[in-house]
Structure 1
Amino acid sequence: MAAEGADLAGEARLIDAMVPRGSRILDAGCGTGRVGGYLAAAGHDVTGVDLDPELIAAAREDHPGPRWLVGDLSELDLPERFDLIVSAGNVMTFVAPSTRVEILRRLRGHLSLGGRVVIGFGADRGYAFADFLADAASAGLAPGVLLGTWDLRPYTEDSDFMVALLEPR
């Protein structure tokens, strides 16, 4: 995708713009560390968590520096709190539907005072946007801003993608 000119850092640039340098960021469902690696290189204190040990091994190799952990987001229990939690790459559509609210609760519980959760995923992936927003509300999170893309285009009812900037309520 990069060879074809695709922008692979759009999510990370948005997150970087939302917080001051040196912020504590959790990359929830980090995969190979693409987003968290960019954020660490920009000067943030990044922890990445993913269920797949092979993806975590790749993140450690490709992006040394951040803390990369194998873990289940539905059981997330870290001692630190984060200024921002990002979950890009359609993560919430890959988790078991029965764990979605619990994952959102756990993410909320890992926020520092004033922290936010940013989650992006596409439509037609088995998780309706309205259901996601209802699950977020059940977990104590309210949308501050809804976007239709990572490059700040407005969310509309016809959007085929949602980036939700969630805040504790």
Structure 2
Amino acid sequence: MSRWSELTGETSGSDYAARFAALACSGKDVHGEARLCAALVPAGARVLDAGCGTGRVMIRLAELGYDCVGVDRDASMLAVAREQAPDLPWFQLDLAEFEPDRLGIAADFDLVVAAGNIFPLLAAGTEATVVGRLAAALRPGGYIVAGFGLDAAHLPVPPSITLPEYDAYCAAAGLALVDRFSTWDADPYEGGGYAVSVHRR
């Protein structure tokens, strides 16, 4: 069972969406992830939203002209995504089992985005497998950008993955680190409890 399942029971989709809707209504910018993705690849590029949740990031990218696919294991989150954007492709699947061919989609993504603490919330021991499967879905030169907490202050679960571990999984999957930020607004990373890492195949 994933840490996400243990934390939420996979029934929190509407609550999660409501929280971000309230943030947006308060005037807070909730599109930093999409903005960073757009800085990495041009409109029209193929983007895989790995752990897409309620679709907030992917729907924004689709609005900006990206060709997007969303994958998540949580049916309650995907129900919200499908209600908000029924014409976009949403797939329910554990990322540890992700194989584009099985879903009838091409494995030539320009970018994979994993926002929302995806890696710390995976089932223990599947992190390297997930990195490998996501890397295999990238075209040569494609990017994977992942943001996640590294300490208790930035996570809803105990910390479970370090940056050196994540970088090692990426290296084993044929990915090289090209940038690291402390926020999705691309502030420099100088240590701290949250990092956004950009690796390239």
Q: Same fold (TM over 0.5)?
A: yes
Structure 1: runs of 5 or more not aligned: none
Q: For residue 147 of structure 2, what is the amino acid of its counterpart?
A: G
Q: Counterpart in 2 of 1:70?
A: 92
Where 1:97 maps in the other structure, the secondary structure is coil
- Note if 1:55 corresponds to 2:77: yes
Q: Would you tell me which structure has more helix in proportion to its own residues?
A: 2
SS for the counterpart of 2:116 is: coil
Aligned equivalents of 2:174, 2:164: Cα separation in 1: 15
Deviation at 1:21, TM superposition (A): 1.4
Matched, 1:35 2:57: yes
Normalising by structure 1, report the TM-score: 0.93
Asked if 1:127 corresponds to 2:154, the answer is no
If each structure's strand is expressed as a fraction of its own residues, which one has the higher value?
1
Aligned-residue offset at 1:123: 1.6
Contact 2:132-2:169 at 8 Å conserved across structures: no
> Which structure would you say has the larger Rg?
2
Aligned residue among 125, 139, 163 for 2:196: 163
Partner of 1:108: 135
Q: Does 1:85 align with 2:107?
A: no
Report the Cα distance in structure 2 between the residues aligned to 1:160 and 1:5, rounded to whole angstroms. Answer: 25
**Aligned partners of 2:130 and 2:34: how far apart in 1?**
21
Pair 1:118 & 2:145 matched? yes
SS in 2 for 1:130: helix
Aligned to 1:148: 182
| Matched-pair contact (CA < 8 Å) for 1:40–1:65 | no
**Structure 2 residue ranges without an equivalent (≥5):** 1-22, 152-158
Amino acid at match of 2:162: A
Identity of aligned residues (%): 43
- Cα deviation for residue 126 of structure 1 reads 2.4
Query: Residues 113 and 136 of structure 1: is their aligned pair in 2 closer, same or farther, counting only changes over 3 Å?
Result: closer
TM-aligned CA deviation for residue 92 of structure 1: 0.7
The 2-side partners of 1:152 and 1:143 are apart by 15
Using the TM superposition, give the Cα deviation of residue 88 of structure 1 relative to its aligned residue in structure 2, in angstroms: 0.3
CA distance in 1, matches of 2:70, 2:53: 8
Distance in 2 (alpha carbons) for counterparts of 1:100 and 1:68: 22
Cα shift readout 1:20-43 (whole Å, capped 9, x = no counterpart): 111110000000000000001111
1:6 Cα deviation (Å)? Answer: 2.6
